[in-house]
C-alpha cells in the first residue's frame, strides 16, 4: 500500500483531497476529469515557482530511450481508407467489400407492430 501511496499521481490526488477537503470516495473528487486535474496542477506550479523549477528539470533517460525506440516513424494514413463514388471515405477493410453498403431489403425485424 505504501508503494501505491508514493506514486506521483497518488501524491497529487492526496494533495487535491487535502486542499479541497474531500475523501477519495467523494463524488466531487471522483468526477474530476484528467483535464481538470491537469489544470489544478498547472495552477499549483504557477503558485509555487520552486515546484515548477523542480518538475521541469526532471529527466528520465530510460523514457527517452523507449520513446526513441517506439516513436512512430511517419504519421501516414495511406491505404487505410478508400474513396467512395460520392467523394467520401470508408475504412479499407480487406474481405469486407459490402460491409457499408445500404440494404434496401426489408426484414421482419424492420417492421413495427402498431398497438
Look-up of cell digits 495511406:
78
Alpha helices in the chain (DSSP H): 2-5, 8-20, 27-30, 34-47, 49-56, 61-70
The answer to whether residues 91 and 80 touch, using CB atoms and an 8 Å cutoff, is: yes
pTM across the whole model: 0.45
- Residue 28 CA to residue 17 CA, distance in Å, equals 10
List the pLDDT tens digit at each of the 115 positions of the chain.
Answer: 888 888 888 888 999 999 999 999 999 999 999 899 989 988 888 888 887 676 655 667 777 777 777 766 665 666 677 777 777 777 766 666 555 555 555 565 666 766 6
CB 82 within 8 A of CB 88: no
Q: Report the alpha-carbon distance of residue 35 to residue 54 in Å, rounded.
A: 22
Amino acid at each position: 500500500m505504501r508503494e501505491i501511496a508514493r506514486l506521483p499521481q497518488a501524491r497529487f490526488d492526496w494533495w487535491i483531497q487535502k486542499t479541497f477537503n474531500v475523501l477519495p470516495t467523494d463524488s466531487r473528487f471522483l468526477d474530476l476529469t484528467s483535464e481538470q486535474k491537469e489544470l489544478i496542477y498547472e495552477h499549483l506550479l504557477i503558485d509555487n515557482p520552486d515546484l515548477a523549477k523542480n518538475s521541469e528539470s526532471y529527466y528520465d533517460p530510460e523514457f527517452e530511450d523507449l520513446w526513441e525506440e517506439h516513436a512512430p516513424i511517419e504519421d501516414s494514413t495511406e491505404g487505410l481508407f478508400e474513396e467512395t463514388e460520392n467523394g467520401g471515405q470508408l475504412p479499407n477493410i480487406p474481405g469486407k467489400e459490402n460491409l457499408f453498403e445500404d440494404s434496401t431489403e426489408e426484414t421482419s425485424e424492420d417492421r413495427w407492430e402498431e398497438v
